[in-house]
């Protein structure tokens, strides 16, 4: 027991002595610290000369392509589909005035034939009535002449009767003949007087028959559904042999090259477009389909600006018309999400500076006669990674590009000179 305690005490003394020896050795071999003086030299900076240029203020916006003119095909007459154009399928091309869908025409052809028969019948009735009128007029002329004769004969018989050369019986006969002639004339005149209304009825029947023919031919024409322009099929909703009813939708076609993009412009950005609108012009634009390799572009123009501002986003809706492509397969389709770059007013002169060089308070660091000048500038616009400066800079001013810690107005600076690269032989 006593030997164990003695061993632990000796071990502790040995460890302590070794530690003391090591500390003394490290202190003995340490080196003196190197003394350094603070370099109080003038900073060397990179500069770039300001160059005035002309810039067009552009506005970037995004939107979805939509067809400008769409034709919704709808059945106007009922019937069974007996023909469908081979191109009438989603994405297919349809030529102008080409038959897309045809409905069974047999019933409508019978209606046309029936209307034509009624027209011929009405024509025949009118011709017969016209002949009857001519006959009545002839009969009236003859009856009028006969009345004149009987009247003359009656006058002669009366004169003879007064002289006792004609009997009472002969006088009575003459009076009866005169009355009979007048009655005959009156009958012809009465028959002629009602021919006007009869002719109107016959002509009305003819006009109605012609209307029925026009209606039947129109219905026959409606059995063929055609496209009013060259375009592309958006939707197809009918199949061969299907019985369709009036008003049933058959599909949708949109005009080739008739594409619009609706974009929404923040109100604060309208200042770049208003000067163009004030001149009565329409801003131009470029529509870009991103994601393709390479990006495809189409020229466009602002077609119209909607009258109402979106209350939720405080933006102004604007419609761009995409210039049509040549006839044939198109690469820009409805539903495509595109970027639209609208060209606004031009400014000259303007200085374009990287955005990170602008200091707080719209200040730029400029090198003047070997000293730092904190130049306050007027920023026309901040756009992406650039700023457009309209005032405060001059042609050839040296803008400091290098970062400066603890910059002080008037501090001395040295412009870094770019050494020319020699040719290696």
Could you give all domains of the chain from N- to C-terminal order, each with its CATH number? 41-68+258-417 (2.40.30.170), 70-104+230-254 (2.40.50.100), 108-220 (1.10.287.620)
C-alpha–C-alpha distance, residues 340 and 390, integer Å: 26
Q: What is the DSSP letter of 350?
A: E
C-alpha–C-alpha distance, residues 341 and 287, integer Å: 7
C-alpha–C-alpha distance, residues 144 and 139, integer Å: 8
Q: What is the pLDDT of residues 59-70, one digit of tens each?
A: 999 999 999 888
Q: What is the pLDDT of residues 73-109, one digit of tens each?
A: 999 999 999 999 999 998 888 898 999 999 999 999 9
Asked if 272 contacts 86 with a C-beta cutoff of 8 angstroms, the reply is no
The contacts of residue 122 (CB under 8 Å, 6+ apart) are 202, 205, 206, 209
Predicted local distance difference test score (pLDDT) of residue 211: 96
Asked if 357 contacts 50 with a C-beta cutoff of 8 angstroms, the reply is no
C-alpha–C-alpha distance, residues 281 and 343, integer Å: 12
List, as own/partner pairs, every contact residues 213-222 make where C-beta atoms lie below 8 angstroms and the sequence separation is at least 24, other chains included.
Answer: 213/112, 213/115, 213/116, 213/118, 213/119, 215/115, 216/108, 216/111, 216/112, 216/114, 216/115, 217/112, 219/77, 219/108, 219/111, 220/105, 220/108, 220/109, 220/111, 220/112, 222/76, 222/77
Predicted local distance difference test score (pLDDT) of residue 69: 87
Predicted local distance difference test score (pLDDT) of residue 6: 59
Q: What is the largest CA-CA distance in the chain?
A: 209
Predicted local distance difference test score (pLDDT) of residue 186: 94
Q: What is the pLDDT of residues 291-338, one digit of tens each?
A: 666 778 899 999 988 888 888 888 999 999 998 765 555 678 888 899
Q: What is the DSSP string of 286-307?
A: EEEETTSSS-EEEEEEEEEE-S
* Nearest to 302, CA basis, from 260, 257, 258, 347: 260
Predicted local distance difference test score (pLDDT) of residue 22: 64
Residues of the chain below pLDDT 50: 1-2, 36-39, 420-425
């Amino acid at each position: 027991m006593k030997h164990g305690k003695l061993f632990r005490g000796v071990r502790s003394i040995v460890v302590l002595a070794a530690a003391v020896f090591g500390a003394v050795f490290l202190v003995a071999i340490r080196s003196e610290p190197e003394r350094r003086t603070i370099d109080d030299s003038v900073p060397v900076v990179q500069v770039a000369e300001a160059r005035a240029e002309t810039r067009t203020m552009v506005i970037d916006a995004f939107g979805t392509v939509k067809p400008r003119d769409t034709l919704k095909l709808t059945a106007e007459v009922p019937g069974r589909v007996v023909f469908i154009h081979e191109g009438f399928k989603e994405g297919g091309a349809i030529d102008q005035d080409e038959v897309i869908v045809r409905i069974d025409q047999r019933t409508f052809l019978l209606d046309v034939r029936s209307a034509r028969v009624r027209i011929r019948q009405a024509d025949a009735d009118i011709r017969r009535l016209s002949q009857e009128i001519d006959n009545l007029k002839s009969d009236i002329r003859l009856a009028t002449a006969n009345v004149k004769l009987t009247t003359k004969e009656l006058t002669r018989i009366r004169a003879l009767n007064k002289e006792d050369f004609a009997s009472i019986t002969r006088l009575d006969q003459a009076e009866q003949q005169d009355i009979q002639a007048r009655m005959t004339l009156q009958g012809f005149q009465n028959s002629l007087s009602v021919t006007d209304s009869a002719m109107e009825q016959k002509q009305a029947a003819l006009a109605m028959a012609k209307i029925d023919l026009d209606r039947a031919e129109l219905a026959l024409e409606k059995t063929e559904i055609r496209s009013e322009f060259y375009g592309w099929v958006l939707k197809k909703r009918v199949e061969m042999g299907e019985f369709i009813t009036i008003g049933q939708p058959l599909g949708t076609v949109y005009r080739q090259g008739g594409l619009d993009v609706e974009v929404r412009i923040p109100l604060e950005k309208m200042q770049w477009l208003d000067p163009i609108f004030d001149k009565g012009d329409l801003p131009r634009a470029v529509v870009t389909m991103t994601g393709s390799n390479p990006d495809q572009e189409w020229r466009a123009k602002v077609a119209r600006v909607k009258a109402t501002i979106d209350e939720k986003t405080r933006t102004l809706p604007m419609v761009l018309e995409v210039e049509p492509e040549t006839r044939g397969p198109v690469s820009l389709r409805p539903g495509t999400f595109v970027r639209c770059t609208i060209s606004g007013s031009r400014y000259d002169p303007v200085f374009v500076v990287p955005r990170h060089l602008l200091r707080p308070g719209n200040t730029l660091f400029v090198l003047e006669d070997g000293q730092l000048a904190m130049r306050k500038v007027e920023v026309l616009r901040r756009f992406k990674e650039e700023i457009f400066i309209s005032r405060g800079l001059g042609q050839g001013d040296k803008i400091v590009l290098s970062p400066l810690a603890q910059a002080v107005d008037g501090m001395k600076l040295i412009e870094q000179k770019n050494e020319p690269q020699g040719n290696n032989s």
